[in-house]
């Protein structure tokens, strides 16, 4: 299932790590992100040292993690790849629900397989990732959701009865 983080206010330490673990992160214009653990004599313990350099880059991750008192705003978080979109605080939840609505219109099977390909493919070479994608693509042709989706497309029908299989 896809996950959406809607960050309104401070996402420091574990809160920042939870947002990084989500598939999509939306933030209000007053959101702040940081990894203050080194200032406490510890390190991020919920994926910060692994997800942050993958979402941004190694140098930015080191700056944020080593500089425990550094906090960045939502716009900077979006610029470095930590956040997908920034919205005014009063629109954040409506936008999160709108995005979730888009996701819910898609085939649960298709979304799950695409998420698997993205997550696994990120950590393997391109050839292995392409083989995984080709395999998942082929498997999708034997599903109810493929038949329903293609039939709805041909019938110009917006409503689909996806079953996730």
Question: Where in the sequence numbering do the catalytic residues fall?
Answer: 17, 37
Alpha carbon distance 13, 86 (integer Å):
20
Among 45, 60, 42, 52, residue whose Cα is nearest residue 20 = 52
Length of the chain: 165
Specify the 3-state DSSP secondary structure of 132. helix
Are 48 and 16 within 8 A, CB to CB? yes
DSSP 9: S
Q: Which residue has the tokens 């700056």?
A: 63
């Amino acid at each position: 299932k896809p996950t959406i983080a809607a960050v309104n206010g401070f996402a420091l330490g574990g809160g920042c790590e939870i947002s990084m673990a989500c598939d999509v992160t939306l933030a209000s214009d007053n959101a702040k992100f940081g990894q203050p653990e080194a200032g406490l004599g510890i390190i991020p313990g919920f994926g910060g040292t692994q997800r942050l350099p993958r979402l941004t880059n190694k140098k930015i991750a080191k700056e944020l993690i080593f500089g425990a008192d550094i906090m960045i705003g939502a716009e900077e978080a979006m610029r470095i790849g930590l956040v997908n979109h920034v919205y005014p605080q009063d629109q954040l939840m409506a936008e999160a629900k709108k995005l979730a609505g888009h996701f819910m219109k898609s085939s649960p099977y298709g979304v799950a397989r695409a998420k698997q390909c993205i997550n696994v493919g990120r950590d393997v070479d391109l050839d292995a990732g392409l083989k995984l994608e080709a395999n998942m693509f082929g498997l999708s042709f034997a599903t109810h959701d493929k038949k329903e989706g293609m039939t709805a497309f041909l019938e110009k029908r917006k409503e689909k009865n996806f079953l996730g299989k």
